[in-house]
């Protein structure tokens, strides 16, 4: 029984180390790229008045205004209620890419402001934001 547990532990450790190598390779690839400039058509989007439980979508458009390829390494949000989708392919100078943002208002109430950080090889860190006024019949907060 102890031999079986030991073998299982070794397999888990080896697989974790293999995954670490892959993520480091991706980071090194992004770090080797020259920093570039990107612009955002609309950095802040207002969904307006929403009811709790609604799921809404918005697409942000980023343009590579620099001289080298732009690669989005990851997108970080400040809430689990926001999910993002993006194309992992390099964006050539002058081309655009889309970032799709899904906002789930379940359990939220009042003024909601959520941010998304675009991490990649841009010269400046880009921030996107969404906000909405969420009405929730189950929670009644007076301002």
Sequence ranges of the domains in the chain: 1-32, 38-135
- C-alpha–C-alpha distance, residues 85 and 143, integer Å: 34
- Burial environment of residue 136 by CB neighbours within 10 A (0 to 12, 13 to 18, 19 or more): middle
Residue 20: is its pLDDT beyond 60? no
pLDDT tens sequence across 66-78: 999 999 999 999 9
Where residue 34 falls among pLDDT bands split at 50, 70, 90? confident
Edge-to-edge strand list for the sheet holding 44-51: 44-51, 126-135, 110-120, 72-77
Least trusted range by pLDDT, from 13-22, 43-52, 107-116, 121-130: 13-22
In CATH, 38-135 is 2.60.40.10: yes
Top-confidence residue, 12 or 66: 66
d(CA 34, CA 67): 9
- The mean of the pLDDT values for the chain is 84
Q: What is the pLDDT of residue 140?
A: 65
**Whether the predicted pLDDT of 84 surpasses 50:** yes
């Amino acid at each position: 029984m102890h031999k079986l547990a030991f073998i299982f532990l070794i397999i888990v450790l080896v697989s974790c180390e293999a995954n670490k190598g892959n993520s480091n390779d991706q980071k090194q690839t992004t770090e080797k790229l020259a920093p570039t400039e990107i612009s955002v058509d609309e950095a802040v989007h207002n969904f307006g008045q929403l009811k709790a439980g609604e799921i809404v979508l918005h697409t942000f458009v980023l343009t590579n205004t620099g001289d080298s390829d732009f690669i989005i390494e990851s997108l970080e949000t400040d809430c689990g209620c926001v999910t993002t989708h993006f194309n992992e392919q390099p964006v050539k100078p002058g081309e655009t890419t889309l970032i799709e943002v899904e906002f789930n208002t379940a359990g939220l109430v009042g003024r909601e402001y959520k941010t998304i950080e675009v991490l990649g090889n841009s010269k400046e860190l880009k921030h996107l934001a969404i906000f909405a006024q969420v009405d929730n019949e189950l929670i009644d907060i007076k301002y």
